[in-house]
Amino acid sequence: MSNKPCSHEDLASNSAGKISMCHECGVVHLHMQNLSLRLNIEQFAELSALAAEAAKKIGKTSKTTILPAANTRH
pLDDT of amino acid 3: 74
Indicate the residue type of 27: V
The residue extents of the domains of the chain are 8-61
Kindly report, residue by residue over 5-17, the tens digit of the pLDDT. 888 999 999 999 9
Please give the pLDDT value at position 65.
Answer: 60
How many whole angstroms separate alpha carbon 8 and alpha carbon 51?
23
> Residue 74: its pLDDT value, please?
44
With b meaning 16 or more CB within 10 Å and e meaning fewer, what string describes 29-45? bbeeeeeeeebeeeebe
pLDDT level of residue 70 (50, 70, 90 thresholds): very low
Which pLDDT tens digit goes with each residue over 23-60? 999 999 999 999 999 999 999 999 999 999 999 988 88
